[in-house]
A = this chain, B = another copy of it.
Amino acid sequence: MKDCGTCPIQHRAVCSYCDADELVELDQIKYYRSYDAGQPVLWAGDHMEFVASVVEGIASLAQAMEDGRTQMVGLLLPSDFIGRPGRDLAPYNVVAVTNLTLCCFRKKPFEELMARTPHLASRLLEMTLDELDSAREWMLLLGRKTAHEKISSLLAILATRDAALRKQKPADGAAFDLPLTREAMADYLGLTLETVSRQISSLKKRGVIELKGKRRVVVPDFARLLSETGDDVDGGMIS
């Protein structure tokens, strides 16, 4: 049980608007839980006895069809929220992509607390609206972008987010880890893993990116990468 005062996501999580009293209440119903990379957190249809904030690591939210086709519908990063007040059954599969630490809240008391304090509810509304925006952004990618643009967009987003973690803008020469396997990227982008691999090879061959080892990506010219995404060079990204 970690202390909220040293929590790395305290300023962005669902509890970020809470005052000291509310944090005390939350403290009483929370517990930490960890998962190794690859482990499932929830299966679609599971009964959920908690809601949670991602403290560290990355989780994926995915839907599967009966024949095995899979579409990732969200990447859960530190401070993102898992679960929905008022809902019992998990609608999607949640899997730990990297080693993962969650700050879980027992669902029932969390819902009661939410009904009593507007701080939790209003922050959750903000976060949900943000997620809706990124889901819609992703719909454009899935429906209208080429394989080439899809990969470039994903890399641009990962680079941007990685820079944001250090409170910077993505710069030329920026390097970041690629936390996803080819298959996970394919499931996120609505492609096959072979196509993902080919497009990455092509970006590498054309000098848009460089690979240091298998997991580290270097972007020598960020504007060049952006120009491959199909988005407006300036705007495009909302979040």
Contact = CB atoms under 8 A, between A and B. Distances in A.
A73 B126 contact: no
B230 A65 contact: yes
A230 B67 CA distance: 9
A86 B86 CA distance: 25
A10 B65 CA distance: 36
A232 interface: yes
Interface string A91-105: 110000000000000
A63 interface: yes
Given A65-B144, A66-B232, A71-B144, A136 B190 contact: no
Interface in A187-239: 189-190, 230-232, 238
A: contact size bracket = 35 or more
A4 interface: no
B232 A136 contact: no
B135 A139 contact: yes
A125 interface: yes
Given A121-B122, A128-B128, A232-B66, A140 B238 contact: no
Number of copies: 2
A71 to B, nearest CB: 4
Nearest to A231: B65
Interface in A102-153: 118, 121-122, 124-126, 128-129, 131-133, 135-140, 142-144
Contacts of A61: 136
Contacts of A143: 71, 142, 189-190
A84 interface: yes
B133 A91 contact: yes
A139 B139 contact: yes
A142 B231 contact: no
Given A126-B86, A231-B65, A232-B66, A74 B142 contact: no
25 contacts: A61-B136, A63-B136, A65-B144, A65-B230, A66-B232, A67-B230, A69-B144, A70-B144, A71-B140, A73-B139, A84-B129, A118-B118, A125-B128, A128-B128, A128-B129, A132-B132, A132-B135, A135-B135, A135-B136, A135-B139, A138-B139, A139-B139, A142-B143, A142-B190, A143-B190
